[in-house]
Amino acid sequence: MLRQVADGVLVHESEFCQSNAVVVRGGGGVLLIDAGVLGDEMACLADDLRELGQTVVVGFSTHPHWDHLLWHPWLGEAPRYGTSRCADTVRARLSDAGAKARVAGLIPPDIVERVPLDLLGRITALPAGTARIPWDGPQVRVVEHQAHAPGHAALLIEDRGVLVAGDMLSDVLMPMLDLNAADPIGDHLAALGLLEGVAGDVDVLIPGHGSVGGADQVSARIDQDRAYVHAVRDARVPGDPRIGPSAKDGWDWVAGVHEQQLQRLAQRSERDGTPR
């Protein structure tokens, strides 16, 4: 079910990892950001839009991870954009015949049959340096960074005061670093700095996974994420409720992801002979 969180901005939350699909009303239709994960949910979203008299005229994927690259035929054939680096990454990862089978192997077994992969990753690259989404609707600024995944972008819906953060600033997931990058710690801290630079213009925060927050949550979540990144950089134990005993029910697996990050960072440090 669609829930309005700001004027002309609606959210559909998936049962999978509290994934948020975001709908922005425009002049001749809607912008759909990170369309969803489960096929039946995306079909429901398409039905809801039809009941509102709306069609999807533009799609956008915030970054090149499988759960942000999905689509459903009922959503139509609108162009689906991503940053240039995001689109290049998707193209490289899906370029061979075994790509979809590899993606299916990443999906939890209990939902894999419900995830439609036929339209996976059909992303058109925005020209490098594009500042705004090309469409007939509210001005949507592209805030590109390299944290979490190559070509990751947050979107600031400027006159609505809404920040669509992609896989950043979650209340249920600690920062998940791009451990394949040359400088995952530096990339994440730089991205938090970029988001901090627009925080004063934000009244509503929509993370890729987790709860929608108000203006007071933007700086609080940036501070919490920065504290986590500093802690793992310095090999300290982070006092982060998202990975401790107070983690939200059903999210205990996040602590395992945290441990994997610590191990990978330690291995990188040992391999390169450098401090974290």
90-135 pLDDT tens trace: 999 999 999 999 999 999 999 999 999 999 999 999 998 899 999 9
Give the model's pLDDT for residue 1. Answer: 84
Q: What percent of the chain has pLDDT over 90?
A: 89
**Burial of 118 (C-beta count, 10 Å sphere; 0-12/13-18/19+):** exposed
Tell if the pTM clears 0.85, that is, is over it. Answer: yes
Task: Give me the domains of the chain, ranges plus CATH numbers.
Answer: 3-272 (3.60.15.10)
The per-residue pLDDT for range 197-219, each reduced to its tens digit, is 999 999 999 999 999 999 999 99
Give the model's pLDDT for residue 249. Answer: 83
**Burial of 143 (C-beta count, 10 Å sphere; 0-12/13-18/19+):** buried
Give the model's pLDDT for residue 245. Answer: 82
- Element at 58 (helix H, strand E): strand 56-60
pLDDT at 177 over 80: yes
pLDDT at 275 over 70: no
Give the model's pLDDT for residue 147. Answer: 98
Is residue 111 a contact partner of residue 16, using CB atoms and an 8 Å limit?
yes
The per-residue pLDDT for range 68-94, each reduced to its tens digit, is 999 999 999 999 999 999 999 999 999
Helix, strand, or coil (residue 77): coil
pLDDT at 274 over 70: no
Is residue 189 a contact partner of residue 146, using CB atoms and an 8 Å limit?
no
Gap between the Cα atoms of 192 and 206, Å rounded: 15
Gap between the Cα atoms of 13 and 31, Å rounded: 16
